[in-house]
Structure 1
């Protein structure tokens, strides 16, 4: 019998000893063989084999919280003041204010890829609806020359400019009649505009 410091320690010892003896008695009552193995026991079929498979790791970027955290990080990084010239160039490139490297002369004109050079320069065929002579014709010829020399506008924008002038002159038909009179090409141009308005 071991030596105890006080009665509590002795009590704990006796309880543990009793539990150990009880375990031995329980296993003897159950008649568990010594070569017992859980692998030999027939399963209860509570879970299927698919339930027991290890789940495949998910893509962390597919997570909503990850995306929100990434956006917050990018916002903080992009909105801070650059420390040096390199960081400033990186920031300007991301904002689309600088050329991407390697430099390509056709960078940023993807929408104009299938448009011919002639469509940009030769815009005289768009003046069919305008008078053949007179101040409006001279003005529109100058407009087409200016548009043909403008490399920053797309063909669609150039066409919209000319269409805008056509609509403008149609709206100001009464003022033009008072200023220039209804003679020659101007008369047919103004009557044509009025007919188009009615239809």
Structure 2
């Protein structure tokens, strides 16, 4: 009932409701187009900010700290933050983005590691040699390790299989072969 009294012109003859659309009058001049300036701001240089650089930097730093505590507003800001932290690669994607001095190391240094086994004092045949070949194959298939880390792994295994352990393993291997022949 109150609607009928307040908005009588909105109700059509059949009882359904419809709002009247109000269109702008083209005869009324626009306030935003083609008007003359009032001349209030003749000297715009006097309206510029004259704050010291220290205080503006202070305000920017405070705003940055405040925004960091709130976290990113959307996924784009989150990805920008990850890129700045080094958690995500920058666009466009460059597969050699974080290689550094590793970009100068040729491919074959990473893949053909067996040639380094001769200089480590390891046996050329037997179970240790076979194991070290498997280690070299595994290291050659790892693209995430630098050549220095791969060499450190090989040296660690060489220290692990020192001469005393080599003699013990050779003795156990011979005993195992004798037991296999006798069985």
- Which TM-score tier does this pair reach, normalised by the shorter chain? 0.5 to 0.7
State the Cα distance separating 1:130 from its structure 2 match.
1.3
- List gaps (5 residues or longer) in structure 2: 1-51, 175-183
Task: Specify which structure has the higher proportion of helix.
Answer: 1
Tell me the SS of whatever aligns to 1:163.
helix
State the Cα distance separating 1:101 from its structure 2 match.
1.4
2:168 is aligned to 178
C-alpha RMSD of the superposition:
3.1
Q: Distance in 1 between matches of 2:169 and 2:59?
A: 65
2:154 is aligned to 162
State the Cα distance separating 1:88 from its structure 2 match.
1.1
1:104 aligns with 2:88: no
**1:53-75 Cα shifts (integer Å, max 9, x gaps):** xxxxxx95xx7x99888766655
The 5 Å alignment of 1:14-163 reads 60=53, 74-128=64-118, 129-163=121-155
State the Cα distance separating 1:144 from its structure 2 match.
0.3
Q: 1:66 to 1:166 in 2, by over 3 A?
A: farther
Tell me the SS of whatever aligns to 1:113.
helix
TM-score, length-normalised on structure 2?
0.55
Alignment check: 8 A CA contact 2:122 2:161 kept: no
Alignment check: 8 A CA contact 2:111 2:141 kept: yes
- List gaps (5 residues or longer) in structure 1: 1-58, 185-199
Query: Which entry has the higher C-alpha Rg, 1 or 2?
Result: 1
Alignment check: 8 A CA contact 1:78 1:91 kept: no
